[in-house]
Amino acid sequence: MTPIREKNNGLFSLDLVVDPNGEEINTVSTEISFPANKLFLKSLSKDDSFCSFFIEENIDNALGKIKITCLDPYPGTAKISNVVSLTFKKINSGAADLNLSDDSLVLANDGYGTNVLKNLSGQTIAE
């Protein structure tokens, strides 16, 4: 995830990005978890996404979960690219961790759907 962009009224935004390290990828699937007692997802924007199709886009603010699966069949991307932009509202004080699930996937555009994901990094929202 990218650095936080502060907004007014307790809102902040951050981008979920993928860095394929020069390898052609075409699919991303992940679940983002966040503390539902501290954060509320106000919006999810796909405007700047490298993905042209969103297969799954489930938001559950009560459970603090966002599930995203998207793809761009051909050619995909080989550069650092935005997947989605998230805007949250902080509803309680204290640090809040946003984490990506261990079963996240970044699939190569190699005809085999090889998972090329090497690192996951979440984000801590400080007070």
pLDDT digits (tens, 9 = 90+) for 8-21: 677 889 999 999 99
Per-residue confidence (pLDDT) for residue 2, from 0 to 100: 53
Q: What SS3 state is found at 53?
A: strand
Per-residue pLDDT for 108 more than 90? yes
What percent of the chain clears pLDDT 90, i.e. is strictly above it?
77
* Confidence label for 51 from pLDDT (cuts 50, 70 and 90): very high
Per-residue confidence (pLDDT) for residue 59, from 0 to 100: 97
Per-residue confidence (pLDDT) for residue 124, from 0 to 100: 78
Which token pair is 69? Answer: 């699966």
Per-residue confidence (pLDDT) for residue 35, from 0 to 100: 96
* Confidence label for 76 from pLDDT (cuts 50, 70 and 90): very high
Distances (CA, A) of 99 to 52, 74, 122, 123, 124: 24, 29, 5, 7, 9
Per-residue confidence (pLDDT) for residue 75, from 0 to 100: 87
The CATH class of 5-112 is mainly beta
State the average pLDDT over residues 22-51.
96
Whose CA is closest to 45, among 97, 75, 82? 82
* Confidence label for 126 from pLDDT (cuts 50, 70 and 90): low
Distances (CA, A) of 112 to 25, 35, 102: 11, 36, 21
* Confidence label for 89 from pLDDT (cuts 50, 70 and 90): very high
